[in-house]
Copies of this chain bind each other. A is one copy, B any other.
Amino acid sequence: MIKLAHGSGGEKTRELIEKLFLPAFKNPILEKLEDSGRLNGIAITIDGYTVKPIFFRGGDIGKLSITGTVNDLAVCGARPKAIAVSIIVEDGFPTEKLEKIVSSMAKISREVNAPIVTGDFKVVSKGEIDEIFIITSGIGEIFYPSLGADRVSAGDRIIVSGPIGDHSLAIMGERYEVELPQGFESDCAPILKLVEAITQVGGIKWMRDPTRGGLAAALNELAKAINKEILIYEDSVPFRKEVLNFCEIFGFDPYHLASEGRFIAVVDKEKSEKILSELTKFPEGKNAAIIGEVREKSKGRVIVKTKFGGLRLLDPPTGELLPRIC
């Protein structure tokens, strides 16, 4: 039986992908398990958005749906060229809400210069869907092809482009009725400009946006793919204090929280400082940080060096933290 955990982006998702989807759809592009499929200079991606609430601090499901697709392309070194959108709503959904959502989609699409060239719109009876789901597919032109887990080697540095988990807190805060400081919002935003800037420097080997399953899922996936250790320096990871407080009170691991406007880059050690300084030129990148390195030690594992100097294993998330985070 399919359970919520199968959609978490963690271990159960991985299991389903490995046991069901990969054997059935068997092909070399899919087997790379990247955020986009890459073929002949073109990248293609798809994502379903079911976030709840559909309007949240710093965005809505419309903004998220275009941003997420643009970001999936960006971390594959691709510039979005065209977007296709499928919208499914329940009977009785308010037109004004749909208008707001569509206008958010249009805004981001214009911002990144990726027109919405085709779409599909379906309405189902009340109760057959909760409000609205949006599914977005994008095609992009690859401008930085030299990315792949196979390029990562010991000594490489791990960079994050900004504070992690703000998106999760914006969503979970609402659902847990947490009082958040004024101005606190989801990090939901396109990362394309930042990616373009750092690819000018070069030396980038692998990128991923830490959405469902957060840093823990993305880094574990990488560690397994390269069969090397990822060592994370805890005191360098830019979590906001609101995120850490929330996690402490409600018993969550901040490494499991999702962002929708951040990315992880594994880069050549020599270039890491230059890349970091490029990122910090952007307002969205001002808290970017080198948070770790690749080592040969504990192969396939992610190890966190805690603030007190000890080491702990960072496992991928196993259950469903909270459904409909994106």
Contacts and interface: CB of A to CB of B under 8 A. Distances in A.
Among A7, A26, A120, A133: residue with most chain B CB under 10 A: A120
A20 interface: yes
Interface in A66-94: 81-82, 84-89, 91-94
Given A3-B91, A95-B1, A124-B50, A82 B117 contact: no
A118 B7 contact: no
Given A46-B119, A120-B46, A124-B324, A82 B29 contact: yes
A50 B1 contact: no
A47 B123 CA distance: 13
A39 B117 contact: yes
Among A36, A82, A320, A323: residue with most chain B CB under 10 A: A82
A84 B130 contact: no
Interface stretch (A96-104, A221-229, A281-289): A96-104
A128 to B, nearest CB: 4
A13 interface: yes
Nearest to A320: B123
Contact of A44 (B35, B36, B39, B117): B117
Contacts of A6: 121, 123
A241 interface: no
A91 to B, nearest CB: 5
Nearest to A90: B2
A129 interface: yes
A197 interface: no
B109 A2 contact: no
A48 interface: yes
Among A48, A106, A119: residue with most chain B CB under 10 A: A48
The 6 closest A-B pairs by CB, nearest first: A37-B117, A7-B123, A137-B137, A46-B84, A37-B118, A135-B135
Given A2-B92, A46-B86, 6 more contacts: A2-B94, A45-B118, A50-B88, A50-B124, A127-B130, A129-B130
14 contacts: A1-B92, A2-B89, A3-B123, A4-B91, A7-B89, A24-B106, A29-B115, A34-B118, A35-B118, A44-B137, A46-B120, A47-B86, A48-B87, A48-B122
